[in-house]
Structure 1
Amino acid sequence: MRQRPLLGLMRLTRLTHLTRLTRPLRLLPLLLVGALGGCAQWGYYGQSLSGHLSLVRAAKPVDDWLAQPDLDPTLRQQLELSKHLRDFATTELHLPDNRSYRQYADLHRSSAVWNVVATPPLSLQLKTWCYPIMGCAGYRGYFKREDALALASQLKSEGLEPYVYGVPAYSSLGWSNWMGGDPLLNTFIHYPEGQLARMVFHELAHQVAYADDDTTFNESFATAVEQIGVARWLAQRPEALASDENSRQRQDQMQALLRNSRDRLRELFQSTVSDDEKRAGKAEVFAQLRQQYEVLKRDQWKGDDRFDRWFSTLNTPALAIQGSYTDLVPDFIRLFERQGRDWDRFYAEVKRLAKLPKDERRAQLAAGG
């Protein structure tokens, strides 16, 4: 997707807003486009295909970049690091050994794609869009920001509450490996070491297992792989571990605030009070969330304002999509432990769960597989 942007909360980086809320724009192979009907569908998948192809064409192998004598030293350092991360992902985490993240592209823009999410004003239920092969997902991605804003405007006119955010990376779920795979991008290559590792491990995990109707299952699985993988990577990199610790702590504190606010809103929206009372209660929840953030920033973070931009646009769908990256992570980590911390057994079990109906999948995951 996905989310990771500080990457936003999902991946706390030096950027000032949450963008990895996302990550996702899961693109389809070329032959599927011809099977779609309707002008709107043709237009959407046309921009998806052309946008992805332009990204792939801009990429070239990391070693080719490193062979350039005048390559920026900082970029050289990060590309060298990416090679080690990519090898670690395959050898230690048993993630796919393919061409993804062994190439690099400079898109000359700040985001790879822009995602649109939306909810009814008094609900945390994300609107879903359905696609061939990948099924339904709670977001819709565009390679041009103005296209995303146009959809958001349309959704607002339909009575929904939309949210648009930039995404630094997305996964093609392995479909583009024949074209060179998903490349490293300028939109995230300069992340600190721990955050770059999270990005690479998370996106590769999407190539392992995918449930075609369950955004939270998919994103929480990838986040669990990322968390376990990064802990193992940083355990052998004490300097990187020390610098990553502060960001991880702040990310955990932020997630706790957001989780509490989501729980309060869910309880409010499911209550029997009037809609007017729900709107008033919703405003209070968001006001208190912002106040708690300001206190946290002032008293514990020494004025660190990296989340300010995200908080300035915070709304219900922004809060809802955040939950998809974290809500099931504890269940996946328990499943990993139950499989003896064996990656192959863990992935096989996740693939099995992904094939089940959603309710049965969630029940078995909660029960430990």
Structure 2
Amino acid sequence: MIRPSLSLGLLDRVLRVLFPGVLLLLLSGCTSVSYYSQLASGQLQLLRAREPVQEVISDPRRDPNLRARLVQSQAARTFASQQLHLPDNKSYRLYADIGRPFVVWNVFATPEFSLSPQNHCFPIAGCVAYRGYYSQGAARGEAALQRLQGMDVSIGGVEAYSTLGWFNDPIISSMMNWGDERLATLIFHELAHQRFYVKDDTEFNESFATFVEQEGTRQWRATRGLAPDNTAAIQRRDQFIQLVLNTRTRLEQLYALPLSADQMRQRKAAEFERLRSDYRKMRDDQWAGDKRYDAWINAPMNNARLLPFGLYDQWVPAFAALYKQMNGDWTKFYAAVEKLGALPADERKAALKALAES
């Protein structure tokens, strides 16, 4: 339950007025009432679980490790607003213990011979390339139904998400499974969504937030006098991402060919085997046998498993180029991002492509 606080109490009163209206708006769509009901219930439970971070830190009865981690999180939270010019509000100055490893599970789905995600549209967030569930069992049930319809499906657990400034988002216990630096990067990423968001363009939004996360983390380390992050690990991450993106490109070219379903399945399977083979060669020849991505690469493969790479990473080089053009000035960078976001979708994509190629 929310601990007594003037600001949280005021927000609760607003929620009592606003939440039923939002729920009715959601239920007016054609998606099932049960799905929107679990969304509303899950979000409300999360809001009710919040408590001020400073109260947790000051309470000697709480887990000392948790209190120490939250102290570090607040230093990163202050850095986010003061140095990265991200929103200065109560988001991530609250804490919520949800008692599970992920706050939601996202279900991604594509047709068998396409990398176009099955989009789902919502009044606030617009259209996104996944469907979120607060229960892992419900996510698995949805995935099973999609598979029965012949779709390629993948489920991914999510540690945190942004309500885009509608509510004060908390640090969630699911975010505490990583080290202090990873917790900071999650805060940077989610606050970036609050800073700017374009409805119906998941690739733009996630790539923008990922760039802010990565550059923000680099600056966060420098401010604390730490050496740059493990250069080899970052280089290998980027190489792996590029390997997957190259596979996406080849699959898109394949799916445009006039082939029979059997021929398409055979060549699709061959592309996934090529991905595995290219990865193993890179791992053994260039990475000295580093196996950090083995579990992912050896799992069953389909189109949907590749979606997050295109969604979260596709335009990161474009935003990096834009940041460089703005001479590392965050305020000018955000203004330029807003101009990009205001463009019609086709023009926006062309501009991002030109930036990435520069």
Q: TM-score, normalised by structure 2?
A: 0.86
Could you tell me how far 1:272 is from its partner in structure 2? 3.4
* Aligned residue pair count: 337
Structure 1 spans left out of the alignment, 5+ residues: 1-27
Q: Report 1:203-214 matches (<5 A).
A: 203-214=190-201
Corresponding letter in the other structure for 1:308: A
Kindly indicate whether the alpha-carbon contact (under 8 Å) linking 1:335 and 1:365 is maintained by their aligned counterparts in 2. Answer: no
Q: Is it true that 1:168 corresponds to 2:168 in the alignment?
A: no
The equivalent of 2:68 in structure 1 is 77
- Mapped to 1, the partners of 2:179 and 2:172 lie a distance apart of 14
Kindly indicate whether the alpha-carbon contact (under 8 Å) linking 2:73 and 2:180 is maintained by their aligned counterparts in 1. Answer: no
Q: Is it true that 1:340 corresponds to 2:331 in the alignment?
A: no
Could you tell me how far 1:51 is from its partner in structure 2? 0.4
Moved more, 126-135 or 351-360: 351-360
Kindly indicate whether the alpha-carbon contact (under 8 Å) linking 2:127 and 2:200 is maintained by their aligned counterparts in 1. Answer: yes
- Mapped to 2, the partners of 1:56 and 1:311 lie a distance apart of 38
Match of 1:52 among 37, 43, 56: 43
Q: Is it true that 1:275 corresponds to 2:261 in the alignment?
A: yes
Corresponding letter in the other structure for 2:149: E
- Mapped to 2, the partners of 1:143 and 1:103 lie a distance apart of 20
Say what the alpha-carbon RMSD is for the aligned residues.
Answer: 2.4
The equivalent of 1:366 in structure 2 is 353
Q: Is it true that 1:34 corresponds to 2:34 in the alignment?
A: no
Could you tell me how far 1:311 is from its partner in structure 2? 4.1
Once the two structures are aligned, what percentage of the paired residues are identical?
Answer: 42
Match of 1:226 among 213, 217, 221: 213
Q: Is it true that 1:135 corresponds to 2:126 in the alignment?
A: yes
- Mapped to 2, the partners of 1:335 and 1:30 lie a distance apart of 41
Kindly indicate whether the alpha-carbon contact (under 8 Å) linking 1:116 and 1:163 is maintained by their aligned counterparts in 2. Answer: yes
**1:26-57, CA deviations, whole angstroms, 9 ceiling, x for partnerless residues?**
xx965222123268443222211210111122
The equivalent of 1:289 in structure 2 is 275
Match of 1:120 among 88, 102, 111: 111
Distance 1:185-1:280 versus aligned 2 partners, 3 A rule: same
Corresponding letter in the other structure for 1:65: V
Corresponding letter in the other structure for 1:171: S
Distance 1:313-1:77 versus aligned 2 partners, 3 A rule: farther
**1:196-245, CA deviations, whole angstroms, 9 ceiling, x for partnerless residues?**
22211111100111111111011011111111111111123355745x44
**1:106-141, CA deviations, whole angstroms, 9 ceiling, x for partnerless residues?**
211111101011111111111111111322111110
Q: Is it true that 1:191 corresponds to 2:178 in the alignment?
A: yes
Q: Is it true that 1:90 corresponds to 2:81 in the alignment?
A: yes
Q: Which has the higher contact order (CA 8 A, sep 6+)?
A: 1
Structure 2 spans left out of the alignment, 5+ residues: 1-17
The equivalent of 1:100 in structure 2 is 91
- Mapped to 1, the partners of 2:220 and 2:251 lie a distance apart of 37
Distance 1:194-1:241 versus aligned 2 partners, 3 A rule: farther
Kindly indicate whether the alpha-carbon contact (under 8 Å) linking 1:79 and 1:189 is maintained by their aligned counterparts in 2. Answer: no
Moved more, 307-316 or 112-121: 307-316
Q: Which runs of 4+ in 1 moved over 6 A?
A: none
Moved more, 57-66 or 263-272: 263-272
Kindly indicate whether the alpha-carbon contact (under 8 Å) linking 1:33 and 1:42 is maintained by their aligned counterparts in 2. Answer: no
- Mapped to 2, the partners of 1:307 and 1:169 lie a distance apart of 25
Moved more, 206-215 or 349-358: 349-358
Kindly indicate whether the alpha-carbon contact (under 8 Å) linking 1:62 and 1:103 is maintained by their aligned counterparts in 2. Answer: yes
- Mapped to 2, the partners of 1:305 and 1:350 lie a distance apart of 33
Kindly indicate whether the alpha-carbon contact (under 8 Å) linking 1:29 and 1:175 is maintained by their aligned counterparts in 2. Answer: no
Q: Is it true that 1:258 corresponds to 2:244 in the alignment?
A: yes
Choose between structure 1 and 2: higher helix proportion: 2
Could you tell me how far 1:331 is from its partner in structure 2? 1.2
Kindly indicate whether the alpha-carbon contact (under 8 Å) linking 1:114 and 1:165 is maintained by their aligned counterparts in 2. Answer: yes
Could you tell me how far 1:367 is from its partner in structure 2? 4.1
Kindly indicate whether the alpha-carbon contact (under 8 Å) linking 1:223 and 1:329 is maintained by their aligned counterparts in 2. Answer: yes
Corresponding letter in the other structure for 2:125: M
The equivalent of 2:339 in structure 1 is 352
Moved more, 133-142 or 294-303: 294-303
Report the 3-state secondary structure (helix = DSSP H, G, I; strand = E; otherwise coil) of the residue aligned with 2:108: strand
Q: Is it true that 1:63 corresponds to 2:54 in the alignment?
A: yes
Corresponding letter in the other structure for 2:318: D
- Mapped to 2, the partners of 1:352 and 1:305 lie a distance apart of 38
Q: TM-score, normalised by structure 1?
A: 0.84
Corresponding letter in the other structure for 2:334: Y
Distance 1:104-1:133 versus aligned 2 partners, 3 A rule: closer
Kindly indicate whether the alpha-carbon contact (under 8 Å) linking 2:109 and 2:153 is maintained by their aligned counterparts in 1. Answer: yes
Could you tell me how far 1:358 is from its partner in structure 2? 1.1
**1:70-112, CA deviations, whole angstroms, 9 ceiling, x for partnerless residues?**
4333323321110111001000110000111111222111111
Distance 1:263-1:309 versus aligned 2 partners, 3 A rule: closer
**1:154-188, CA deviations, whole angstroms, 9 ceiling, x for partnerless residues?**
22222211111111111111111xxxx11112212
Corresponding letter in the other structure for 1:249: Q
Kindly indicate whether the alpha-carbon contact (under 8 Å) linking 1:234 and 1:240 is maintained by their aligned counterparts in 2. Answer: yes
